Chain A
Amino acid sequence: MAVSKRAGTMAKSLLLLLVLVVIGFFILIPFFWMLSLSFKKLSEIFVFPLKLIPRYPTVENYKETFINLAFIRSFLNSILVACAITAGSIIVSAMAGYALAKYRFRFRNTILLIIIIGIMIPIHVVVIPLFLQMNRLGLINSYFALILPFIVSPWGVFLVRQFLVDIPNDLIDAARIDGAREFRIFWSVVLPLSRPVMAVLAVITFLNAWNEFLWPVVAVRDEHLRTLPLYIAGFFRLFNVNYSEMMASAFMATLPVLVIFFILQKQFVSGLTYGSFK
């Protein structure tokens, strides 16, 4: 009896595994296709019969990509912009989230409500006036234009706030009674405590910053300021597109976030689901 039941479970899990593998296949095939094309010669990519494994694999496309100054420049731009946004938004969100979690003051609930509504408002809604505003500040077509709007993240503030509400006040009060200044308390008590939520915030902010497209399209005219998504989208405007090189660039643009994602998966998952609903 026990054996047949176990056999039944085995059969069931094999069947379910098969379903999962099929779905996984559909999810992964575009990835593989990108990789495959990036290793093909241009002459091979549209010739039937198509092969998933290139018949004449070549690293020529990657070589071309790595010596392409425009690619290198936009890669470095993306790293600079994404890191600056991540660092800035962590500090700004931590300070604001701390204030909202651990102090009592007038307008606190109003500010919190504005932040909650702000989470839902995407850059699309403000893109025109933001462009005009940046223009007036003389910042359009600069790194600042790419970075500043994303340093303030209502979602980040909310995340930090939710995290800090749950830590006990005693630690903070103890430091206060010992005579620590307010900023010192924030710096040496609160920040070390919030390391887990900072990691979550960092992963997701970096990812979003790395992939942002609409705002850079509007904010940047100068070739030297293009980020990776802009560089890759630039292929679309060319005649005689070198599709294999395009795929090699696309893969190089995906690789960093893919690596980060696999290393910091736990933070990514908890960040997406943390405090969202209970």
Chain B
Amino acid sequence: MAKRIEREKRFVRNLYPGYTPFLFLAPFLLIYAVLWLWPIVFSLFLSLNRWSGGGAPLRFVGLKNYIFLFGDKDFQASLLNTLYFCGGFLAIMLPLALFLALLLNIAFLRLKGLFRSVFFSPVVMSKVVVAMIFFLILDDRGGLLAFMFDKVGLTFPNLLASKRLVMPTIISLSLWRTTGVYMLFFLAGLQGISPEIYEAARMDGANNLQTFLYITLPQLRNAAIFIVTIALINSINIFDSPYLLTGGGPGNASMTLALNLFRQSFTHYRFGIGAGVSAVLLVIILIFTLFFLKVTGAFKMEES
């Protein structure tokens, strides 16, 4: 019986020529190779050259661009600010998103669907629009927050012009826009936990806190790994709000890696150095990705 099935399977497989799957893959592979893979390789090569764009000749300089970068104040600031952004964002987003997900997972609560929609609706907004709105809310003389501060007799600081407060402000914008999405991921994780485990815990007389610490949290491990990885990769690329709101300033207090690479290339026309910055970005992203694939065992997933 098993033999017959095996024979039929082979027969079915022989009904199409071997190149068929490649025909289906061709549009994707072709465009992806030309517009993404080749540029990545070329970018690594470009980072070893000095080039000012246009018709200027490429000049091979070895690792000089990287040596320049690691001694460059702007680059150091952009690296630190980007890490500050990632750390600050994750440190607040994770507990907040988990808290919201737990709230929306309570069985007896009404209107959960409505609140869920409201909480993650900001993510449909363009980052440009978000930057605009907050620009007007944060304005230190005529903005909404300044008005509220004024009402209680306080002076509202000009957040975007303060070296100390500019990064927390930019972090808050991202928190407002995206926490809802991560809440959804946590919610999906929570809903994947089988009710029987909770049942068993209740039988054993565990209280709410114990249930949370010893059942909910460990069961959320995969969801949490996924969320951390995605959030890190999204945060590493922070570009739009510093580009629009501060231009990296005051000084270089809100300069980020993505903004730095944009500036080096398209403002100063130092494409080799810009490519060096994107290589640093790429390496950080690859480390996160490989880490993610390793912990989740996604490498094994292909066996099907």
Contacts and interface: CB of A to CB of B under 8 A. Distances in A.
A220 interface: no
B111 A133 contact: no
Nearest to B304: A165
Contacts of A108: 21, 302
Contacts of A56: none
A24 interface: yes
B24 A186 contact: yes
Contacts of A47: 142
Nearest to B24: A99
A95 B274 contact: no
Interface centre among A30, A173, A235 (most CB of B within 10 A): A30
B20 A103 contact: yes
B185 A262 contact: no
Contacts of A149: 35-36
B35 A117 contact: no
Interface string B128-145: 111011111101011010
B31 A17 contact: no
A277 B222 contact: yes
Contact of B21 (A13, A27, A99, A278): A99
A50 B39 contact: no
Interface in B183-204: 184-185, 188-189, 192
Contacts of B46: 128-129
Interface string B281-304: 110011011001100101100101
Given A19-B103, A34-B133, A149-B36, A120 B289 contact: yes
Contacts of B265: 127-128
B222 A30 contact: no
B48 to A, nearest CB: 13
A219 to B, nearest CB: 11
Interface in B255-293: 258, 261-262, 265-266, 271, 274-275, 278, 281-282, 285-286, 288-289, 292-293
B233 A122 contact: yes
A128 B32 contact: no
B152 interface: no
B231 interface: no
Nearest to A218: B266
A125 interface: yes
Contacts of B176: 27, 30
A269 B18 CA distance: 38
Contacts of A13: 106, 108-110
B67 interface: no
Contacts of A69: none
B32 A152 contact: yes
A117 B294 CA distance: 12
B240 interface: yes
A222 B288 CA distance: 37
Most chain A C-beta atoms within 10 Å of own C-beta, residue among B21, B134, B136, B271:
B21
Contacts, number: 264
B25 A99 contact: yes
Interface in A235-278: 235-236, 243, 246-247, 250, 253-254, 257-258, 260-262, 265, 269, 272-273, 276-278
Contact of B124 (A118, A165, A243, A254): A254
Interface residues of A, number: 98
A49 B148 CA distance: 9
Contact of A152 (B31, B110, B124, B185): B31
Contacts of A20: 103, 109, 111, 115
B39 A126 contact: yes
B127 interface: yes
B27 A95 contact: yes
A121 B285 contact: yes
Interface of B: 12-13, 15-16, 18, 20-25, 27-29, 31-32, 34-40, 42-43, 46, 100, 103, 106, 108-111, 115, 117-119, 121-122, 124-130, 132-137, 139, 141-142, 144, 147, 150, 176, 180-181, 184-185, 188-189, 192, 222-223, 225-226, 233, 237, 239-240, 244, 258, 261-262, 265-266, 271, 274-275, 278, 281-282, 285-286, 288-289, 292-293, 296, 298-299, 302, 304
18 contacts: A12-B108, A17-B110, A27-B119, A28-B118, A96-B25, A100-B21, A100-B25, A103-B21, A104-B13, A124-B261, A126-B278, A129-B43, A152-B36, A211-B127, A213-B240, A233-B244, A254-B125, A265-B117
Given A126-B40, A151-B31, A152-B36, 10 more contacts: A16-B109, A108-B302, A111-B25, A116-B293, A128-B39, A129-B40, A129-B46, A277-B189, A277-B222, A277-B223
